[in-house]
Amino acid sequence: MTAAVDAPLRRGAWYRIVAPLTRLEVVVSVQGKRVTVPRPYVEIRATPPREWTVLRNPKVAPGRTPEAFRRGYLICPGCRDRVPLPVTQVAKQLCPRCSQTFAIAWDEHYLEKA
């Protein structure tokens, strides 16, 4: 997702395209269900990202989400685990789950719109 739209998709998530692309929309699988999304709001890649995806100010349920994740988090490109945003804007991050280090995609264009 490159912008906030009314769709049950998360920024930084990887969804499988399940129908032919059109100029106006993309149909993806979300938990086994087909979801149609306006094509301009979806970044289509042949391979998953190789850098941490940054999610700032996510819509989260306060009672279900740890305090450290409420202002945002990073999504690991290796295992899809989430870690809280670092206090400073560092270039790389070690994933505590898969023990791999990846660059952080602070320069993603959708961050300016979030």
Q: Report pTM.
A: 0.74
> In this structure, what are the phi and psi dihedrals at residue 75, rounded to the nearest 5 degrees?
-115, 120
Q: Are 64 and 93 in contact (CB under 8 A)?
A: no
pLDDT of res. 42: 86
> pLDDT tens, 64-94?
888 888 889 999 999 989 999 999 999 999 9
Q: What is the overall mean pLDDT for the chain?
A: 86
pLDDT band at 114 (very low <50, low <70, confident <90, very high): very low
